[in-house]
Structure 1
Amino acid sequence: MEGRPKLIAIDHDDYHAEHIGRTHDGRQFILTNPFDPAIGENPGCEFVALYTFDLSGQLIDAKIDSFGPRSSLDDDARRAKYDERLISLGDVSFERVEVAPFSVERFGLEFGLIARPPEEEDDAWAVEMQPGNYMAFFEPWDSGEYDT
C-alpha cells in the first residue's frame, strides 16, 4: 500500500526507548513495558515485552509476559522480569534501531509496532507501539523520533 513504511527508525533515549539497541551479534532489540489501558470494566494490564529483530529489521521473536491488572500489579516481579529479559541479551549497545512494523497476538491483544493506514484522504500513515499506543511514529520514518 502506498505510503506504508518499510522500516521505522527509533533513537535511543531515556524514556520509552531506553532499552533499545543491538546485541553483540548485531541483532536489534526493543525491551519495553506495553500496557492495556483500563477502560470501563477492563481493569487494564501491565506487560514486559522483548522484541528481537534480524539485521534487516524483521521480527525474529516476541517474548511477552503479563503481570495482570494494574490494581494488583506486583511491581517487583515486573521489574525482575524486565531485568531478566535485558540480561538474557548478553552484551548490548543502546543505540538507534531500524525495524519493520509488526504485529503479534498474545493474551487476546495485538502487540507490536502496528502500521495504521490513513482514515481519510488528507490523513497520513501512522505506526503505533501497541497496546497502549505509548509511542507513535509519523513521516519521515527515518527521523528516529516519536510522539507519546
Structure 2
Amino acid sequence: MERAPERFTIVPDDYHVPYAGTAEDGRKFFISEELFSEKSAYVGVFLWKADGTFDEVRVDEIGRPAGLPPGQAGPAGAEDLVEARLAELGNYVLEPIEVVPFTQDVDGITFGWKVGQYDDGTYFINIEPGNFICYYEPWDGLDYDT
C-alpha cells in the first residue's frame, strides 16, 4: 500500500498556479483568486516557513463572479487584491516550492491542501475550498487534475 505524501511540489504555471514561490523573508507561498465555496469566492494566500512546514493562511472573501457555474473555478476578478497580496511578500521569486500539505478552518470554511485517498489506496492532494487542483504521485507538481 502506498504511503500518504509528507510533502509535495507546487510548480507555477499559466493555468491554475500563477503565483507560487519564495517570498523575500524566505517563506514559501501560493496565492489564488480561484478559491470558492458554494456561496462565495476567496483570494487566499497560503504561507509555509522556509523549511516547507505550514505557517499561516490569509483569506479575503470576495463576490463570486457573475455567470460562473456552481462548482466551477474561475478568476474572481480580484487582480488588485492579488497584486496587493503579492506586494506584501516583498521581493519574491516565482519558482517550484516543496511544502507540507495542511488544512485550516477560517470562518467555518476549510482552506489548504487536503490529503485524500481513493478506494484503490492511492493518495491525492486537493486544494480547498473548491477542489479545482488535484496533485498525485510522483508529487513533483508537473501534472495535476482540474
**TM, length-normalised to structure 1:** 0.83
After TM superposition, the structure 1 = structure 2 runs for residues 1-148 of structure 1, keeping only pairs within 5 Å, are 3-33=3-33, 34-37=35-38, 44-71=39-66, 78-118=78-118, 120=119, 122-148=120-146
Matched-pair contact (CA < 8 Å) for 1:96–1:144:
no
- 1:10 Cα shift? 1.2
| 1:75-123 Cα distance to aligned partner (Å, 9 max, x none) | 66x32221111111010110101111100112321111000133x2x24
- 1:69 Cα shift? 4.3
Matched-pair contact (CA < 8 Å) for 1:8–1:144:
no
| 1:13-38 Cα distance to aligned partner (Å, 9 max, x none) | 1121111100123211001121114x
Structure 1 gap ranges (5+)? 38-43
Instruction: Give the number of the structure whose residues are more often helix, by fraction.
Output: 1
Structure 2 gap ranges (5+)? 68-75
**Rg: which structure is higher?**
1
Aligned length: 137
Q: Equivalent pairs: percent with the same residue? A: 30
**RMSD of aligned C-alpha atoms?**
2.1
Separation (CA, whole Å) in 1 of partners of 2:10 and 2:79:
23
**TM, length-normalised to structure 2:** 0.84
Q: Which runs of 4+ in 1 moved over 6 A?
A: none
